[in-house]
Amino acid sequence: MYKALYRTWRPMSFDDVISQPHITETLQNQVRTGKTAHAYLFTGSRGTGKTTCARILAKAVNCPHAVNGNPCLECDICKDADRGILSDVIEIDAASNNSVEDIRDLREGTVYRPERCAYKIYIIDEVHMLSGSAWGALLKVMEEPPAYVKFILATTEVHKIPITILSRCQRYDFKRISIDTITDRMKELMDTEQVQVEDRALRYIAKVADGSMRDALSLLDQCIAFHLGKELTYDMTLDVLGAVDTEVFSRLLRFVMDRNVLGCIELLEEIVMQGRELVQFVTDFTWYLRNLMLVQTADNLEDVIDMSTDNLANLKEEASMLSMDQIIRYIHIFSELSGQIRYAAQKRILVEIALIKLCKPEMETDQEAVLDRIRQVEEKVENGIVVTAQMPAGAPGVQGGPQGGAARPKPELPKAIPEDVQEIVRKWPAIVGNAENPMKMYLKNARLSLGGDNKLMVVLEDGLASDYFKGEAHEQNKQQLEALLSDFSGKEIEVTIQTVESNRQFEDNYVDLSKVINMEIDEEE
């Protein structure tokens, strides 16, 4: 029966564990001197060896023939432990056994001495998933456990562990494993398995694994299975993992530098049609931007930046065409996108919005965007292009003259009356159709109600649309909407923005003006 690579090559002794010497050497010394603690807490990101070290420690303290703090792997106790049938080593998954009753059963089990071994070992994985009452029950037995009982707790979220538990454990923090270490380990295993894999493919898998040896072996297993019997190349790896080649990122960046929104959207369409994973695309492009930043910061970074010589030369050329402020702005936008996209229903739309932001700094008001806009103006002046002061369409305050001359005050408009608001509601789809993106996109699903003093209340579902119009930084977006409505009606229309979680909440709390007016709404053609 076939076993996955990460199970086949799971370390059996402390000497086999990679990249955690600060932990393995300490545990070996404790086993060798007989000074092991009654409770341990192993914490760190996934796939770094927490459960593996817990199993090795459980074997080592019980092995009658332990050598230099390592289990002998030859005695019956070691063999039964490796097969998972040693009754004195109890593994508990706290994700599914997290109730107080489960921990009470554990506590009752500690009353009985071990059957074959010197110690009864409880390994509790994902311990942060225990309920509040379960923590209380566990604390009772961890305060003064029998001399023959030891606990090994493992978690990826140490901040969820009560301080009363932490204070009773020896804590060991497992580090993320470096790309080089993961790559070398996979190469060693592939030589043993007699599978041909390009070094470039292994390095990319190690990078995607993000410090997890288990993730790296699982991805490698997947790629080998897809191309069974063939040499695993870099391009094959990209196909299996739904990743995008560096050349595509270079094309995308040049579209962004040219402010070519259409080119960006068409390239994204190409990526989507190829079946590429958008979450991975966002992550990899963020890394590409990070490499741009590093190249601009210092020379001789070939060892830090994982790229071929040709791609690195291309990267240096692109870095020379951008300022550090621009690169940082790009990274901020895509870093924010990385946090939003993973669980979003409309991933493509979020990516499109981010790309539009990259191309159009005028959509934003933060410092990096303002500097980027100033830089655009400077470039036009240097090229002999006449630059006129421009305000966003319908913006309040000043308007440019017909020939780009001096600004003049906007004429004062009469205040809107209820009939004016009614007319806005009737013509709402047509008004939205005349707006520019991204405002047009955000307003399509808006609901209309009436605020105080004849104000038009625009109610939006909680999310990107509400974020666009609310907050100090986005006040100008609301002003643009008011200007658009004023231009349409010839009256001063004031708008108030409200947020709801669902249409049901809107119906329960607000009056739908389109129904109150009882008139047919003109549909946009």
Q: What is the pLDDT of residue 59?
A: 96
Cα distance between residue 341 and residue 328, in whole Å: 20
Angle at 357 between CA 355 and CA 362, to 5 degrees: 150
Each domain of the chain, given as residue ranges in start order, spans: 5-174, 179-241, 246-367, 418-517
Determine the 3-state secondary structure of 492 from DSSP: strand
Q: What DSSP line would sit under 127-151, residue for residue?
A: GGG--HHHHHHHHHHHHS--TTEEE
Which of these ranges, 96-100, 109-113, 324-328, 445-449, has the smallest mean pLDDT? Answer: 445-449
Give the pLDDT band of residue 459 (cuts 50, 70, 90): confident
Which of these ranges, 136-140, 214-218, 291-295, has the smallest mean pLDDT? Answer: 291-295
Q: What is the pLDDT of residue 411?
A: 60
Q: What average pLDDT does range 303-313 have in this prediction?
A: 66
DSSP conformational letter for 415: B
Do the two domains 5-174 and 418-517 of this chain adopt the same fold? Answer: no
The yes-or-no verdict on residue 369 having pLDDT over 90 is no
Give the pLDDT band of residue 469 (cuts 50, 70, 90): confident
Q: What CATH number does domain 418-517 carry, 3.40.50.150, 3.30.300.180, 3.30.1360.20, 3.40.50.10480?
A: 3.30.300.180
Q: What is the pLDDT of residue 227?
A: 78
Residues ≥6 apart with Cβ < 8 Å to 497? 457, 458, 460, 466, 469, 470, 478
Q: What is the pLDDT of residue 407?
A: 44
Give the pLDDT band of residue 395 (cuts 50, 70, 90): very low
| Contact yes or no for 444/507 (Cβ under 8 A) | no
Q: What is the pLDDT of residue 64?
A: 94
The yes-or-no verdict on residue 102 having pLDDT over 60 is yes
Give the pLDDT band of residue 330 (cuts 50, 70, 90): very high
The yes-or-no verdict on residue 366 having pLDDT over 80 is no
Count of beta carbons in the 10 Å neighbourhood of residue 271: 19
Instruction: List pLDDT tens digits, range 221-278.
Output: 999 988 778 889 888 888 887 677 778 888 999 999 888 999 999 999 998 888 888 9
Put the strands of the sheet holding 495-500 in their side by side order. 447-450, 456-461, 495-500
Determine the 3-state secondary structure of 451 from DSSP: coil
Percentages (nearest 5) of helix, strand, coil residues in the chain: 55, 10, 35
Q: Which long-range contacts (CB under 8 A, 24 or more apart) does 76-83 make?
A: 77/116, 77/117, 81/55, 82/12
The yes-or-no verdict on residue 391 having pLDDT over 50 is no
Higher-pLDDT residue of 383, 293: 293
Q: What is the pLDDT of residue 476?
A: 77
Give the pLDDT band of residue 284 (cuts 50, 70, 90): confident
Q: What average pLDDT does range 70-80 have in this prediction?
A: 94
Q: What CATH number does domain 5-174 carry, 3.40.50.620, 3.40.50.300, 3.30.70.100, 3.30.420.40?
A: 3.40.50.300
Q: What is the pLDDT of residue 301?
A: 64
Q: What is the pLDDT of residue 214?
A: 93
Q: What CATH number does domain 179-241 carry, 1.10.8.60, 1.10.3720.10, 1.10.10.10, 2.40.30.10?
A: 1.10.8.60
Instruction: List pLDDT tens digits, range 22-45.
Output: 999 999 999 999 999 999 999 999
Percent of the chain with pLDDT over 90: 42
Percent of the chain with pLDDT over 70: 82
**Domain over 246-367 is classified CATH 1.20.272.10:** yes
